[in-house]
Amino acid sequence: MKVVVLAAGRSQRLKPIEDKNFLEFLGKPLIQLQIEQMAAAGLNDFIVVGGAHNLGKLRALAKIMKPAFRVVEQKNLDEGMAGAVMSAERLIGKDSILVVSANDVVDVEAYRAVLAASRDRKFDAFLIGKKVREYFPGGYLKVRAGGVITGIVEKPGKGNEPSKLVNLVVHFHRSGDMLVKALKAVKTSRDDRYEVALDSLMKAGIKMKVVPYEGFWQAVKYPWHVLDLMDYFFKKMVEYPISRPPKNDEGKPQVAKSAKLHGDVFLARGVRVLDNAVIVGPAYIGANTVVATNALVRGSNIGANCVIGFGTEVARSYLGHDVWTHTNYIGDSVLGNDVSFGSGTVTGNLRLDERNITVTVQDVKTDSGRSKFGLLTGDHVRCGINTSFMPGIKIGNNSFVGAGITVAQDIPDDTFVYGKTELIMKPNLAVIDSNQRETMKKKL
């Protein structure tokens, strides 16, 4: 069986995050963690479909990663899932395939369940169905007795769902060749060619069955989902093959005697934790990062080569590589790579009325579902001293934010932001003699 991993998405809803596939958790990019999860279920033949924007990164990862995988390019990203599968046609051949979205994170049990189900030769395809309590804007499965799938309804709207089963993109097809032929044959004006092809196969007599799944599932669509994934991988931290540096290794982490580590804390090679610093797990600290004197890190994923500077608190946040801080507060935030905060700069993460934080996503104010959500930045961002960010604000790539201002609106890529401060000067009446004071008062 070949596994076709769909990784060509452009992460539009996550902007300014450029590619969700290469968000790193526990020191590994998401796409790697996904493939390792599938390999743990017994799968071993992977085809990853990328786009021009991430093809180089995928090929570089393929050269060093085990299990290995092959990379193909989807040239027209507007063709969605259908275009991704058709891009892999040459490698699929006539084999059975498992179509998996790189951005639907599920437990290894989901893959094991669909593999076990695939042994039932009475059916030609098996689709994972996740029962949801609240409406999710995705595809829903039409199912009749015995779990037989009769159709897929894309984004039916709340109250119009044909079932409570959301269609997760973990799809087994006994004939990959048949699926590709169906994809080529159908026409649609919407972004649902893959689903229309499945409907056409069902109408032609191809039998499909739902595989119910009750485990973890997180679709990576919105910025706050990064924090949800961080929490998930923290729970799996012990299970993933992240090796701790040996005790006699030059890269052994250095922890000051007065520093405190509580709970499950992973320190990568070359980490230094200085005097009176506190790290409260679950937490991951990336290679060569410094957690400086009196710093506090709680429930956060910190990348490599960062400096969590003196007096800084990082709480429940995701930080990329090369992030520099000094006497800052960073709460419930997602920071990119190469981000620097001047002293005294803080992120707001809670509304005064304690309602959910809204975030502007593709020009639409969107409820995050979180009462706490802070700042989202792209890469190569600089912030001056004593700057305050209101909850749910986004700072684009390559943007600089000046000192001493409150930022209450999103900042696009490649922007320099500063505020005007008017200084009012007048004589200091407290330090001049009484005669001069009276004269000054008359003039004023």
198 with 277, same domain: the answer is no
Q: What is the pLDDT of residues 221-238, one digit of tens each?
A: 999 999 999 999 998 876
Give a yes or no: residue 243 inside a domain: no
Residue 241 predicted with pLDDT over 60: no
E strand or H helix at 261: strand 260-262
The answer on pLDDT for 277 being more than 90 is yes
Q: Is the per-residue pLDDT at 391 higher than 80?
A: yes
Specify whether 262 is located in the same domain as 193.
Answer: no
Tell me if 245 is assigned to some domain.
Answer: no
Q: SS3 for 310?
A: coil
Q: Are residues 217 and 258 in the same domain?
A: no
Q: Which two tokens stand for residue 216?
A: 């973890």
pLDDT given at position 232: 95
Please check whether residues 210 and 259 belong to one and the same domain: no
227 within some domain: no
Q: What is the CATH number of the domain that holds 160?
A: 3.90.550.10
Average pLDDT over residues 55-75: 95
Residue 77 backbone phi and psi in degrees, to 5: -70, -20
pLDDT > 60? residue 242: no
One domain, residues 284 and 165: no
Residue 306 burial by Cβ neighbours in a 10 Å radius (0-12, 13-18, 19+): buried
Q: Please say whether the beta carbons of 250 and 269 come within 8 A.
A: no
- The per-residue pLDDT of the chain, averaged, comes to 92
Asked if the structure places residue 375 within a domain, the reply is yes
pLDDT of the residue at 420: 85
User: pLDDT tens digits for 289-335?
Assistant: 999 999 999 999 999 999 999 999 999 999 999 999 999 999 999 99
Within a domain: 328: yes
Cα 163 from Cα 190, distance rounded (Å): 22
Residue 216 forms part of a structural domain:
yes
Structural domain contains residue 54 = yes
Do 388 and 268 belong together in one domain?
yes
Comparing CA positions, the residue from 39, 198, 21 lying closest to residue 111 is 39
Residue numbers of the domain that contains 133:
2-221
pLDDT value for 444: 60
Three-class SS of residue 73?
Answer: strand
* Whether the Cβ atoms of residue 376 and residue 13 lie closer than 8 Å to each other: no
Q: How far is CA 258 from CA 116, 239, 253, 261, 393, in A?
A: 52, 30, 15, 10, 36
Considering the domain architecture, whether residues 290 and 369 belong to the same structural domain is answered as: yes
Q: What percent of the chain has pLDDT over 70?
A: 94
Q: What is the pLDDT of residues 330-360, one digit of tens each?
A: 999 999 999 999 999 999 999 999 999 999 9
Q: What Å distances lie between residue 172 and 97, 106, 219, 322, CA to CA?
A: 6, 15, 19, 41
- The alpha-helical segments, DSSP class H, found in 153-304 are 176-185, 193-203, 225-235
Q: What is the CATH number of the domain that holds 333?
A: 2.160.10.10
Q: What is the pLDDT of residues 175-196, one digit of tens each?
A: 999 999 999 998 887 778 999 9
Contact 344, 385 (CB under 8 A): yes
pTM: 0.90
One-character DSSP codes across 280-292: ESSEEE-TT-EE-
411 and 319 within one domain: yes
Instruction: Give pLDDT, residue 421.
Output: 81
C-alpha neighbours within 13 Å on the C-beta side of residue 297: 37
266: its two tokens: 């992973």
Mean predicted confidence (pLDDT) in 378-396: 97
Distance CA 137, CA 219 (A): 11
Residues 101 and 154 in one domain: yes
Tokens of 312: 């800084």
- 78 Rama class: left (phi>0) / alpha (psi -120 to 50) / beta: alpha
- Provide DSSP, 89-153: HHHHTTS-EEEEETTEEE-HHHHHHHHHHTT-TT-SEEEEEEE-SS--SSEEEEEEGGGEEEEEE
Confidence (pLDDT) at 423:
86
Same domain assignment for residues 141 and 268: no
105, 34 Cβ separation under 8 angstroms: yes
pLDDT over 60 (residue 202): yes
Q: Are residues 181 and 302 in the same domain?
A: no
Q: How far apart are CA 328 and CA 310, in angstroms?
A: 9
Amino acid present at 295 = A
Element containing residue 49 per DSSP (H, E) = strand 46-50
Please check whether residues 29 and 113 belong to one and the same domain.
yes
Q: How many domains does the chain have?
A: 2
Query: 228 in a domain, yes or no?
Result: no
